[in-house]
Amino acid sequence: MNTTEIKQIDGFDFVRYRPEVYSPEETLQRSRSFYESINRRRTVRDFSDKPVDIEVINNLLRAASTAPSGAHKQPWTFCVVSHPAIKKSIREAAEKEEYESYHGRMTPEWLDDLRPLQTDWKKPFLEIAPYLIIVFKKAYDILPDGTKKNNYYVNESVGLACGFLLAAIHHAGLCALTHMPSPMNFLSKILQRPENERPFLLIPVGYCAEETFVPKLERKSLESVAIYY
């Protein structure tokens, strides 16, 4: 790299940033095409067991890891599960928690809000999808000498990474589901994660089944979610 592309500020290296710049017309077109593509993204529960190349998953995780994070701590761990026995264990534990939720933990209002989606405690997709990506948030880092090092804005940072991941999955032509069984502590036990990590999101990833049906939903209009000053 040319030294003119590097600038030192208070002893730290900064590199020149050269973003892509488009004409106003192309900027408008690109913004529209991205919206039209991402607007077709849907949460699905009907997965195919068709294999997905692991390098595809690796690229999705690389894309997710480009998300911004507090103090650039990147406080996330992506656990990729494809082993049938581990997926089976995760399904059994998730269904146990979900059964309790649907039969006592959820309020009547919550259950009524879920009725249009027709979800229940059964989660076969946890075994059918070729991959489960379990996202863990790192409350703090542990240095090699055992010292704890703070992370900042952990929930916000990991949430951003998950958003990038979902967009990348859709862009690759794959399907995903954001699954949050509550509580999720069983994931830490099954995957033997360290004490500084907490389960954040469970995402089955793969191709949609040949026949996939999703609820007919309407997204909120721009006028109802955006306010201009």
Asked if pLDDT for residue 4 goes beyond 80, the answer is: no
Residue 124 covered by a domain: yes
Residue 22 covered by a domain: no
Burial per residue of 210-228, b for 16 or more beta-carbon CB atoms within 10 angstroms, e otherwise: eeeeeeeeeeeeeeeeeee
Residue 68 covered by a domain: yes
Its pTM stands at 0.94
Residue 75 covered by a domain: yes
Residue 30 covered by a domain: no
Please state the domain count of the chain: 1
Q: What is the distance of C-alpha 220 from the center of its chain? A: 22
Report, as an integer, the average pLDDT of 102-124: 95
Residue 33 covered by a domain: no
Residue 32 covered by a domain: no
Q: What is the CATH number of the domain that holds 122?
A: 3.40.109.10
The burial of 169, by beta-carbon neighbours within 10 Å (0-12 exposed, 13-18 middle, 19 or more buried), is given as buried
Asked if pLDDT for residue 201 goes beyond 60, the answer is: yes
Question: What pLDDT is recorded for position 181?
Answer: 83
pLDDT in tens, 134-189: 999 999 999 999 999 999 999 999 999 999 999 999 999 999 999 998 899 999 99
Confidence of residue 191 (pLDDT cuts 50, 70, 90): very high
What type of residue is 27?
A: T
Domain extent, residue 73, equals 44-212
Cα(51)–Cα(78) distance, rounded to whole angstroms?
19
Residue 59 covered by a domain: yes
